[in-house]
Amino acid sequence: MNAFITALTRLGDPLAQHVLLSAAALALGTAFALPLAVWASRSRNVARIALGFASLVQTVPALALLALFFPLLLALRSVFGPSLPTLGFLPALLALALYALLPVLRNAVTALTNLDPGILEAADGVGMTAWQKLRLVEAPLAAPFIMAGLRTAAVWTIGAATLATTIGQTSLGDPIFAGLQTQNWALVLAGCFASAALALIADGLLGLVEWGFRKRRRLAVFLGLALAAIGIIGAGISTRDGSRDVVVIGSKNFSEQFTLARLIGQRLENAGYAVQYREGLGSAVIHGALTSGAIDVYVDYAGTIWANEMQRGETPPRAQMIDEIRQWEADNSGTLMLGALGFENAYAFAMKEDRAEVLRVASLTDLAASAPSLAVGGDVEFFERPEWRAVQKAYGLRFADQRKYTATFMYDALTGGEADVIAAFSSDGRIAADRLRVLTDPKGALPAYDALLLITPSRAEDARFVDALKPLIGAIDVETMREANYAVDREVDKKSPREAAQWLAEQID
Amino acid sequence: MADPHIPFLHFDNVGKRYGETIAVKSVALSITPGSFVALVGASGSGKSTLLKMVNRLIEPSQGQIALEGMDVSAMAPARLRRRLGYVFQGIGLFPHFTIAENIGIGPRLEKSRLSAARIEELLELVALDPAMASRMPAELSGGQRQRVGVARALAGEPHGLLMDEPFGALDPVTRDALGEKVRELHRQLKLTTIMVTHDMAEALLLADRVLVMDQGQIVADTTPRQLLAGDGGDVAQALVAVPRAQARALADLTP
C-alpha cells in the first residue's frame, strides 16, 4: 500500500503530459470531425466514406496505429525537412486524434441527419441562410449528442494515451510499462489508477456539459468547460521548465534497458546535463529515434543492429562484427558507436535442469530430436526475427507449439511447464536464479549480442558528453549485469532500476 | 397596400419535373393582392410543389414566378422567404427557443429585435396569452403551437402568407377556430393568402378563390359559390361532393 502511495505521488509529470496529450488529441480529432460531419450530413457518399474510414481506423490496434506513425513521419521528412519529429508528442497526437475521430463523427452525423425535418423546413421557411441554419438550429440541437460522442472519445483517448509511452511520449503508460517489465505491481497499479481516475473525471466534466446542453443550462455548460480548461492549463504550466540542454536517454522495454538508461543518466547528470528518459520504446523504432535525434543515447545489441538495421545474414566473429557496426553507423548516419559495455545479452535457449536431464538435452543439436513433442516460448518479437530462422535452419528445429510471452512472463511459463524451452537472454539474472540449463550452440547459429553504447550524430562531436560515458566501455561483465537485472526482476527485496543503476555505478568505480 | 394593377403573384409557364416524373406541368396564373386563394387537390396533385416554388423551397424546372412584379429567381432565397410568411403542417417551432424567440426569429435574421410589446401584440393577434412569451414550445398544445407558427409568420409584416396544409395535424375544433382566426387576420392585415389543403370544405369556407389541381395541372379556377353551383368540372365536383353529402346526411339526422 505504501509503495502504491509513493508511486502515485511520483506521477506528477506523466499525469500532466497525459492530460496535455489527451486534450490536444481530442481537440484535434473534434476540430477535424465536426466540419466533416456537417459535410457528411449533406452528402450520403461523404458520410459513407468518412464513417467507413473512421471505423477502419478503430479496427487497427492502438499500439500498431501509434507505431505506424513513425515510418509515416519519417517518410514525410522528405517534404517537411529533417526537423519533423518522428517520435514523442507529434505521432502520439496524430494517432490518438484519429482514434478520437469515430465517436465524435458518428454521433455528430447521426444527430445532424436525424433532426426533425419539420424544424429544418421551418429554418428554411423563415429565411435562414445555410450558415444561420447551422449556427442557430442544427448545431445547438445536435450539441448534446456531439457531447456524448466526445465523452466516449475522451475515455478512449485517455486509455489509449498510456500506449504513447511505446513511441517515446511520456504518459501514464510510463509507470505501467516500467512496472510490468520489472514486476513492480504497485507501479502498474498506480499508473492504471491514475489513468482510470483521469478518464472518470473527464467523463464527468463532459457529462456536465452534455447535461447543460440537453437541459439548456448555460451555467452547467460553462462550469464543465471551465473546470476542464483549468485542468488542462494547470497541466500545461506544470510541464514548463527551463530550456537547459536536455539529454534524452532511450530504452527498450525490459529491466536491463531501464537500469542501463539510469546508469547513463546518472553519469550525464554528474557531467551537468539535464536528463529525460524515453522508456519502453519498441526495438523497431528505437534505432531510428537515435539517428533522427529524437533520443540522444541508448544501448543496443550487436546482433540486433546487424540483422535488423544492416540486414546482414551471415554471422562473423564478434570483434569483426563490432568493427563493421561501428563503421556502418558512422557512414550511414554519423551515429557514434562508442564501444561495447563488456557483456553480452544474446538469445540463449534455456530449459529447466530436470527436464533437460530427462530428455538428455545439452545442446541445440540434442534439442532437434525432442523438439517435435515440445513447446517453445519466446518474447513477442523473437519468432519474427532472423536469429530464429537461422537457428531453425542450422539445426532443423520443428516444435509442436510456439508460444509468445512478454519477457517477464516467459520465465514463469518455463517454470510453470507451459513451455519446455525458451529463448532466454544470456544476461538475465533469472537464468542463474531459476537454475536453468543454457543449451550450447555448437554450430554458432546465434550471432553475438554485445551491448553497444550508441550516441546520436549531433552529440558525436560533443567531447564533454562522450567523455562522461567513456568509462562505461568495457566496464560491465555479464555476472555484474545479471546480478543487477536479478535485483530488479526478483519478487523479494526488489530494487528499482534507479537503485540497480546506483549499485552498478559502485561496481564500476 | 401594393399597386392593385400589378398582380401579387404571377406564374408564367411554371413546371417542375423530377427525372421522368412530372409534379407540376405548366401553370400560368395571376393572383391579385388581397385575395385568399385555396389550392385544393388529392395527394400527389402537385399543389404543395406549386406553393413551395413561390418561396423557392423547391426550384422550378421551367417558367418564371414574379412576386409583386419581381422575378423570384433573381432574389436571394433567404431574402425572398423573409418577405413571405410561411406556415406548414409540421409547424416547426425551434425547440431550443422560447416562444418569444421563435416569433422574433425572422426580424432577428435581419439584425433587428422585436420589442416585448410587439411580441405581446402578435400573441394577442393569434389569441394567445402574452404570458406565454417566456415558455418553451414543448409546454404548449398542438393548437397553441400552430398559433405561434402563424404569429411567427406574421412577425416580419409580410404582404403574403403561404400556408401548406396548416391545420392538417390539428383536432377539428382547434382547426375550425384557427381557420376562422386566419381568415380574420387576412382581412385585418390586408394579406394575400395562398393555402394548400386537401379538404374542400375548408377551402370553400375560408377562401374567396379556389384552384383545383389534378396530376400537375390546374383543372378548375373559380369561386366557392360557383363550385357549389356545379361549376369547375368533374374533378372539382368530385371533391365538392364529399362535404355536400356530409352536410346532407347531417341535415337528415337533425330532428
- This complex has an ipTM of 0.90
Task: Check residue A328 and give its pLDDT.
Answer: 94
**CA A325 to each of CA A200, A221, A321, A328, A462: distance values in angstroms, whole numbers, following the listed order:** 49, 60, 6, 5, 21
C-alpha cell at A370: 525432442
Whether the predicted pLDDT of B16 surpasses 90: yes
Contacts of A129 in chain B (CB under 8 A): 78
Lowest average pLDDT, out of A233-247, A390-404, B70-84, goes to A233-247
The dihedrals phi and psi of A245, each to the nearest 5 degrees, come to -70, 100
* Residue A73 confidence class, pLDDT cut points 50, 70, 90: confident
Residue-wise pLDDT for A149-207, tens only, equals 999 999 999 999 999 888 878 889 888 888 887 777 888 999 999 999 999 999 999 99
B130 Cβ contact partners less than 8 Å away, ≥ 6 residues apart: B119, B120, B123, B124
Q: Which residue(s) pair with A379 in the sheet?
A: A405
B90 at interface of A, judged by CB pairs closer than 8 A:
yes
Q: 3-state DSSP call for residue B37?
A: strand
Task: Check residue A243 and give its pLDDT.
Answer: 46
CA angle centred on A166, ends A162 and A167, rounded to 5° = 110
In 3D space, the residue among A161, A164, A146 whose CA is nearest the CA of residue A206 turns out to be: A146
Mean pLDDT of A349-354: 91
C-alpha cell at A211: 447535461
Mean pLDDT of B106-125: 89
Q: What percent of chain B has pLDDT over 90?
A: 73
Whether the predicted pLDDT of A241 surpasses 70: no
Looking at A161-298, list the stretches that DSSP marks H as alpha helix, in order from N- to C-terminal side.
Answer: 173-182, 185-215, 218-238, 255-270, 283-291
Mean pLDDT of A461-483: 90
Strand order through the sheet with A274-278: A274-278, A246-250, A297-301, A450-455, A336-344
The dihedrals phi and psi of A413, each to the nearest 5 degrees, come to -65, -40
* Residue A242 confidence class, pLDDT cut points 50, 70, 90: very low
The CA distance from A507 to A244, in Å, is 30
CB contact under 8 A, B96 and A117: no
What CATH class does A246-345+448-508 carry? alpha beta
Contact B204, B126 (CB under 8 A): no
Residues of CATH 1.10.3720.10 domain(s) within chain A?
Answer: 2-238
Whether the predicted pLDDT of A39 surpasses 90: yes
Mean pLDDT of A57-64: 86
B211 Cβ contact partners less than 8 Å away, ≥ 6 residues apart: B29, B37, B38, B39, B40, B218, B220, B221
A296 Cβ contact partners less than 8 Å away, ≥ 6 residues apart: A247, A248, A249, A250, A290, A455, A456, A458, A459, A465
Whether the predicted pLDDT of A77 surpasses 90: no
- Quickly count: other Cβ atoms within 10 Å of residue A10's Cβ: 13
CB contact under 8 A, A119 and B92: yes
Q: How far is CA A481 from the centre of its chain?
A: 24
C-alpha cell at B91: 409547424
CB contact under 8 A, B109 and A122: no
B91 at interface of A, judged by CB pairs closer than 8 A:
yes
Strand order through the sheet with B217-222: B84-88, B160-164, B192-197, B36-41, B209-214, B217-222
Q: 3-state DSSP call for residue B155?
A: coil
Whether the predicted pLDDT of B151 surpasses 70: yes
* Residue A444 confidence class, pLDDT cut points 50, 70, 90: confident
The CA distance from A415 to A426, in Å, is 17
Task: Check residue A181 and give its pLDDT.
Answer: 73
Whether the predicted pLDDT of A41 surpasses 60: yes
Lowest average pLDDT, out of A28-42, A203-217, A372-386, goes to A372-386
Question: Considering chain A, what is the average pLDDT of its residues?
Answer: 88
Q: What is the amino acid identity at position B251?
A: A
CB contact under 8 A, B79 and A127: yes
Out of B78, B93, B106, name the one closest to residue A129 (CB). Answer: B78
CA B55 to chain A, closest CA, distance in angstroms equals: 8
Contacts of A128 in chain B (CB under 8 A): 78, 109
Mean pLDDT of A360-365: 90
- Quickly count: other Cβ atoms within 10 Å of residue A417's Cβ: 10
A419 Cβ contact partners less than 8 Å away, ≥ 6 residues apart: A375, A376, A377, A403, A405, A410, A413
CA A120 to chain B, closest CA, distance in angstroms equals: 7
Question: Considering chain B, what is the average pLDDT of its residues?
Answer: 91
C-alpha cell at A368: 532437434
C-alpha cell at A508: 564500476
In 3D space, the residue among A242, A262, A272, A297 whose CA is nearest the CA of residue A464 turns out to be: A272
Decide which of A33 and A294 is more confident: A33
Task: Check residue A124 and give its pLDDT.
Answer: 93
Task: Check residue A253 and give its pLDDT.
Answer: 82
Dihedral (Cα; B104, B110, B112, B116), 10-degree rounding: -10
Looking at B25-88, list the stretches that DSSP marks H as alpha helix, in order from N- to C-terminal side.
Answer: 47-54, 77-82
Residues of CATH 3.40.190.10 domain(s) within chain A?
Answer: 246-345+448-508
C-alpha cell at B233: 368540372
CATH 3.40.190.120 for domain A347-438, yes or no, is yes
The CA distance from A277 to A297, in Å, is 10
The CA distance from B33 to B3, in Å, is 8
Contact A345, A256 (CB under 8 A): yes
Out of B81, B96, B152, name the one closest to residue A216 (CB). Answer: B96
> E strands within chain B?
9-18, 21-31, 36-41, 62-67, 70-71, 84-88, 160-164, 192-197, 209-214, 217-222
> What fold, for B1-83+197-255?
Rossmann fold (3.40.50)
The CA distance from A401 to A372, in Å, is 8
Out of B57, B78, B90, name the one closest to residue A118 (CB). Answer: B90
The CA distance from A404 to B225, in Å, is 92
In 3D space, the residue among A371, A320, A336, A295 whose CA is nearest the CA of residue A470 turns out to be: A336
Residue-wise pLDDT for B235-252, tens only, equals 999 999 999 999 899 999
How many Cβ pairs closer than 8 A exist between chain A and B? Answer: 62
* Interface test with chain A among B72, B86, B94, B98, by most A beta carbons within 10 Å: B94
CA angle centred on A67, ends A181 and A306, rounded to 5° = 75
CA A45 to chain B, closest CA, distance in angstroms equals: 21
Q: Give, as one character, the DSSP assignment of residue B118.
A: H
The domain locations on chain B are 1-83+197-255
In 3D space, the residue among A349, A301, A308 whose CA is nearest the CA of residue A453 turns out to be: A301
Residue-wise pLDDT for A88-117, tens only, equals 888 899 999 998 988 999 999 999 988 999
C-alpha cell at A315: 554471422
Mean pLDDT of A57-65: 86
Contact A200, A229 (CB under 8 A): no
Residue-wise pLDDT for B49-79, tens only, equals 999 999 999 999 999 999 998 999 999 999 9
Whether the predicted pLDDT of A478 surpasses 70: yes
Whether the predicted pLDDT of A13 surpasses 60: yes
Whether the predicted pLDDT of A403 surpasses 70: yes
Dihedral (Cα; B128, B133, B135, B136), 10-degree rounding: 90
Q: How far is CA B153 from the centre of its chain?
A: 10
Contact B181, B154 (CB under 8 A): no
Contacts of B77 in chain A (CB under 8 A): 124, 127
Q: Which residue(s) pair with B195 in the sheet?
A: B38, B163
The CA distance from A267 to A272, in Å, is 9
Length of chain B in terms of residues written: 255
Task: Check residue A245 and give its pLDDT.
Answer: 66
**CA A128 to each of CA A485, B81, B156: distance values in angstroms, whole numbers, following the listed order:** 71, 8, 13
* Residue B1 confidence class, pLDDT cut points 50, 70, 90: very low
Look at strands A401-405 and B70-71 and give their pairing: unpaired
CB contact under 8 A, A125 and B96: no
The CA distance from A276 to A247, in Å, is 6
Decide which of A430 and B192 is more confident: B192
The CA distance from A144 to A87, in Å, is 36
**Helical axes A44-59 vs A12-42, angle rounded to 10°:** 150
* Residue A479 confidence class, pLDDT cut points 50, 70, 90: confident
Contact B20, B66 (CB under 8 A): no
Q: 3-state DSSP call for residue A295?
A: coil
Instruction: Give one DSSP letter per residue of A326-367, joined into a string.
Output: HHHHHHHT--EEEEEEEEE--EEEEEEHHHHHHHT--BHHHH
B255 at interface of A, judged by CB pairs closer than 8 A:
no
Decide which of A280 and B102 is more confident: B102
The CA distance from A307 to A388, in Å, is 11
> Looking at beta carbons, which pairs linking B67-71 to residues 24 or more positions away fall under 8 Å?
B67/B8, B67/B9, B67/B160, B68/B2, B68/B6, B68/B8, B68/B159, B69/B6, B69/B10
Q: What percent of chain A has pLDDT over 70?
A: 99
> What fold, for A2-238?
MetI-like fold (1.10.3720)
C-alpha cell at B10: 404571377
